[in-house]
Amino acid sequence: MRYLLIVLLAGSLAISCNKQSKETTWLEQRKQELSSCVCLTAIHEGTYQNEKVYEVRVIDALCNGINMVYKEDGTEIVHSGEHAAYQAYLK
């Protein structure tokens, strides 16, 4: 469980330039990191405040975790540990 929290809270690593766009690079990296987690997670794409966002959710009933919401460029917007802010996001 600690590993999942560490992965979710860890910032994106610096990545060298390549042909992929920045958001695809960080998102693909995040997917790869999460693929080795014991807890089942899902990444949902949506729109929040007229901006594309990605939410990483822990969907495993046997795991407690923190859901994270990121802008298209990989910048964190909010996470479920910030209860009031996350509830406002959900509304």
**12 pLDDT more than 50:** no
- The predicted-structure confidence for 25-51, as pLDDT tens digits, reads as follows 899 999 999 888 899 999 999 999 999
Using CA atoms, how far apart are residues 63 and 85, in angstroms rounded to an integer?
22
What tokens appear for 88 in the block?
Answer: 């406002």
- At 53 the three-state DSSP class reads strand
- Tell me, what's the pLDDT at 88? 93
- The predicted-structure confidence for 59-81, as pLDDT tens digits, reads as follows 999 998 899 999 999 999 999 99
The DSSP bridge partners found for residue 54 are 45, 70
Q: What is the percent of the chain where pLDDT is above 70? A: 74
The answer to whether the Cα torsion of 63, 14, 73, 91 is positive or negative is: positive
